[in-house]
Amino acid sequence: MLLSIGNHSVAIVVAIVFLTPFVFILATALMTRHQALTGSFWPHPFQWHNFIKVFDLVPFATYARNTVVYSVLATVGTVVSSIPVAYALSRMSWRGRQVAFLLVLATLALPSQVTIVPLYIIFVRIHWIGSLKPLILPTFFGDAFTIFLLRQFFMTIPEELSEAARVDGASELQILTRVIVPLAKPAIMAVALFQFLYSWNDFFGPLVFANTHTWTLAVGLAEFSQVIHRSVLWNIQMAASILFMLPVIILFFMAQRAFMEGVTLTGIKG
Amino acid sequence: MSIAEAKEVARTRTSRSKRRRLTTSRLAVLLFMAPWIIGFLAFIAYPMLSSLYFSFTKFNLLQTPQWVGLFNYRFMFAHDPNFWLAVRNTLWIIGLGIPIQIVFAIATAVVLTRVKRGAGGYRTMFFLPTMVPTVAAALGFLFLLDPAGPIDTILRFLHLPQPLWFASAQWSKPSLVGLGLWGVGNTMIIFLAALLDVPKQLYEAADIEGASSWQKFRNITLPMISPVIFFSVIIGVIDGFQYFTEAFVVSGGDLNLGQPQGSLLFYSTWLYQQGFQYTNMGYASALAWLLFVVVMICTVILIRTSDRWVFYQGGFR
């Protein structure tokens, strides 16, 4: 009993440490510009319209639209293009499959810094710099991390299910869309979420390829903080940061439940 | 029909069609693999080869690349003080930041295994900061550690020294480590899974022998999770060489990269400056290729040792 109370108090202290920054950021987002510079902890008065002022002081709506366009299209592209590749690497037998899989693994950790210079040169030549196209197009050609995770999941689906469909005369495409994809929904949801978060947070890509009109929130807010000398408008900066993180945090709370349900519903374990 | 029933039906049918499963038609394989093949050639193989070529040239995007042999690589190692500064700063983050991060991740994961009721709630709270986009987290910490921010206000109240944090060359990197600890969630979750995987019987046996908590942690837990520690270190090295966004934001953006006093000039920062601020595409390509070699060495180590840290449910073929 005593031990349990001790364990809980440690956990509560750690939780407070993790959550305190949120409290300070939110409190500051609600302060007046002047109060945010005084080191006070509690907003007085509560200035809720800071969250509206963000849209006047920063091209927030434009950045948000660009972020949504990039994140949604990149997620669709990655999922649609990676599923068949993961299928070929797990549920089709062919010579060279192991080599192909090793190549995918090798590219898994490839930093974007390594390929960005020549890609930049290509996109300069075709006049795509300044648009989101250099960020979105490559996602339609498979992503190593997504392929890897989906392949791992596809491997756990019993081979007998494919065999049964094959005996019934189903083509590989039909097996993929009617047998594998329905069973792999939780895994597909998971990789979609990972890609969405990656694009939402991506900084290096939009920094190099986009321009002031196509900046996403990540780049836009970072640049905004240097244009207006940062300490002048802490309240607006914090309000903007909260608006930027809010969709992702809401998604996290929604998806956390969906994942748990998905895992318990399928219950397939090879 | 349940999955179990379907398996049963399938099993009786497969015996008839054993021969068909051996190889899939080449055309089908090619069609399914097509997205990755095209992507690999266009966005990885071609860029890699052309950047290898550019790394032996002087190239500013306006004129045609001019062959200079090994000049870029010689310049990098022998004449570029900023290269070595960037390598030192990066190794600082890797050598100090990663061990601290891993110890902290294990500690928070252990805390989660100790609470029986409400563990899910604590896990959500510990993980929440990891969901905050890097730029938002960095901006938040810029405020938290500002002279007018809450941390220095508390320190002032306690009559403790108030460092300039991100604005001082001495404290800028430790402050970034603090920012990294706030977003420790991913590493924590990996360690949590590893801790829960340790067989209970081992602890029970140790209890009978009268082992202390520390002895159990030192002699059972640590060895059992050591593969995951190894995995985290390698991933940390790979990530360390890409360390960019946090430093970019807290330095104050494009015009102040690496500030204060070069203390936040990291490998990727220097690569970005060379390539996209000074348009030294040849030199940036050489930096990129060195990065590639380092990352590949790490990846090969990871794949070679994968049987020690990856557990496949369906069996690995």
Q: What is the pLDDT of residues A16-64, one digit of tens each?
A: 999 999 999 999 999 988 888 887 888 888 889 899 989 988 899 999 9
Please give the model's pTM, rounded to 2 decimal places. 0.88
Are B153 and A167 in contact (CB < 8 Å)?
no
**pLDDT of B23-41, one tens digit each?**
678 899 999 999 999 999 9
Are A84 and B32 in contact (CB < 8 Å)?
yes
B277 secondary structure, DSSP code: I
Are B150 and A39 in contact (CB < 8 Å)?
yes
**Which residues in chain A are contacts of B248 at CB distance < 8 A?**
203, 207, 222
* Backbone φ, ψ for residue A212 (5° rounding): -55, -30
**Three-class secondary structure of residue B66 per DSSP:** strand
**pLDDT of A162-218, one tens digit each?**
999 999 999 999 999 999 999 998 889 888 988 999 999 999 999 999 999 999 999
Tell me, what's the ipTM?
A: 0.89
Q: What is the CA radius of gyration of chain B?
A: 26
**Which residues in chain A are contacts of B140 at CB distance < 8 A?**
21, 24-25, 238, 241
Which residue from A108, A113, A245 is facing B291, i.e. has the nearest CB?
A113
Distance CA(A41)–CA(B114), nearest Å, equals 33
Residue pairs between chains A and B whose CB atoms are closer than 8 Å: 307
In this prediction, residue A263 carries a pLDDT of 39
Distance CA(B88)–CA(B95), nearest Å, equals 10
Longest Cα–Cα distance in chain B: 83
pLDDT over threshold 50, residue B189: yes
**B277/A contact by beta carbon, under 8 A:** no
Distances in whole angstroms, Cα of residue A80 to Cα of each of A140, A215, B28: 7, 25, 17
- A265 confidence band (pLDDT: 50, 70, 90): very low
State yes or no: cis peptide before B223, omega within 30 of 0. Answer: no
Which residue from B36, B46, B254 is facing A104, i.e. has the nearest CB?
B36
Distance CA(B66)–CA(B53), nearest Å, equals 10
- Test mutation, B12, B123, B139, B158, chain A, max A CBs within 10 A: B139
Distance CA(A83)–CA(A188), nearest Å, equals 8
In this prediction, residue A268 carries a pLDDT of 31
- A127 confidence band (pLDDT: 50, 70, 90): very high
Of A138-152, A212-226, A227-241, B38-52, least confident by mean pLDDT is: A227-241
Are B285 and A87 in contact (CB < 8 Å)?
no
- A149 confidence band (pLDDT: 50, 70, 90): confident
Distance CA(A88)–CA(A98), nearest Å, equals 11
Nearest CA in chain B to A249: B131
A243 secondary structure, DSSP code: H
Are A114 and B135 in contact (CB < 8 Å)?
no
pLDDT over threshold 60, residue B195: yes
Are A21 and B141 in contact (CB < 8 Å)?
yes
**B45/A contact by beta carbon, under 8 A:** no
How many Å lie between the alpha carbon of B82 and the closest alpha carbon of chain A?
18
The residues near B19 (Cβ < 8 Å, ≥ 6 apart) are: none
- B119 confidence band (pLDDT: 50, 70, 90): confident
In this prediction, residue B132 carries a pLDDT of 95
pLDDT over threshold 80, residue A267: no
Question: Which of A64, A211, A59, A220 is CA-nearest to residue A135?
Answer: A211
Are A141 and B298 in contact (CB < 8 Å)?
no
| Terminal CA-CA length for chain B | 29
Distance CA(A173)–CA(A169), nearest Å, equals 12
User: Most confidently modeled of B145-149, B235-239, B277-281?
Assistant: B277-281
**Taking the CA of residue A81 as centre, how many other CA atoms within 13 Å lie in the half-sphere pointing to its CB?**
24
Which residue from B115, B150, B271 is facing A113, i.e. has the nearest CB?
B271
| Cα dihedral across residues A17, A23, A28, A31: positive or negative | negative
The strand pairing partners of B66, in sequence order, are B58
Which residue from B29, B143, B317 is facing A237, i.e. has the nearest CB?
B143
Are A110 and B249 in contact (CB < 8 Å)?
no
Distances in whole angstroms, Cα of residue A156 to Cα of each of A98, B54, B159: 17, 44, 59
Q: Is B316 left (phi over 0), alpha (psi -120 to 50) or beta?
A: beta
Taking residues A2-29, report their average pLDDT.
89
User: Most confidently modeled of A33-37, A105-109, A264-268, B164-168?
Assistant: B164-168
Question: Which of B315, B119, B310 is CA-nearest to residue B197?
Answer: B310
Taking residues B282-290, report their average pLDDT.
96
Decide: residue B165, CB within 10 A, 0-12 exposed, 13-18 middle, 19+ buried: buried
How many Å lie between the alpha carbon of A18 and the closest alpha carbon of chain B?
6
Tokens of B28: 């089908």
Taking residues B282-292, report their average pLDDT.
95
Residue carrying the six token digits 């990066």: B90
Q: What is the 3-state secondary structure (H, E, C) of A101-131?
A: HHHHHHHHCCCHHHHHHHHHHHHHHCCCCEC
Distance CA(B137)–CA(B148), nearest Å, equals 18
Which residue from A36, A88, A204 is facing B245, i.e. has the nearest CB?
A204
